[in-house]
Amino acid sequence: MKKIVSYFFVSILLMGLLAACGTSEEPSSNGSEKKESEKKTLIMGTSGDYPPFEYIDTAKGDDIIGIDIDIAKAVTEKLGYEFEVRDMDFGGLIQALQSGQVDFVMAAMSATEERKQSVDFSEVYYTSKHMIISKKDSGITKVEDLKGKKIGAQLGSIQEEKANELAETVEMTVENRNRIPELIQEIKAGRFDAVIIEDTVAKGYLDNNPDIEGFTVEDADGGYAIAMPKNSELTADFNKVLKEMIENGEVDAIIKKYFEEQ
> Where does a domain end: 188, 204, 219?
219
Q: Which of 91, 66, 76 is CA-nearest to residue 43? A: 76
- Can you give the CATH number for the domain in which 175 is found? 3.40.190.10
Residue 14 lies in a domain: no
Give how many domains the chain has, as a whole number: 2
228 and 118 belong to one structural domain: yes
Residue 23 lies in a domain: no
pLDDT (tens digit per residue) in 120-149? 999 999 987 899 999 999 999 999 999 999
61 and 141 belong to one structural domain: no
115 and 63 belong to one structural domain: yes
Query: From first to last of its 262 residues, what are the pLDDT tens digits of the chain?
Result: 434 444 444 454 444 544 444 443 443 334 334 345 567 999 999 999 998 999 999 988 999 999 999 999 999 999 999 999 999 999 999 999 999 999 999 999 999 899 999 999 999 999 878 999 999 999 999 999 999 999 999 998 889 989 999 999 999 999 999 999 999 999 999 999 999 998 888 988 999 999 999 999 876 567 899 999 999 999 999 999 999 999 999 999 999 888 766 5
Residue 15 lies in a domain: no
Give the domain extent around 215.
Answer: 129-219
| Dist CA 99 CA 255 (whole Å) | 30
109 and 146 belong to one structural domain: no
Residue 51 lies in a domain: yes
Residue 21 lies in a domain: no
Q: Decide: 66 and 124 in contact? Cβ < 8 Å.
A: no
Residue 201 lies in a domain: yes
Amino acid found at 199: D
Burial 162-197 (b: 16+ CB within 10 A, else e): bbeebeeebebebbbbbbbebbbebbeeeebbbbbb
| Dist CA 190 CA 78 (whole Å) | 47
92 and 123 belong to one structural domain: yes
pLDDT (tens digit per residue) in 194-220? 999 988 889 889 999 999 999 998 765
Residue 191 lies in a domain: yes
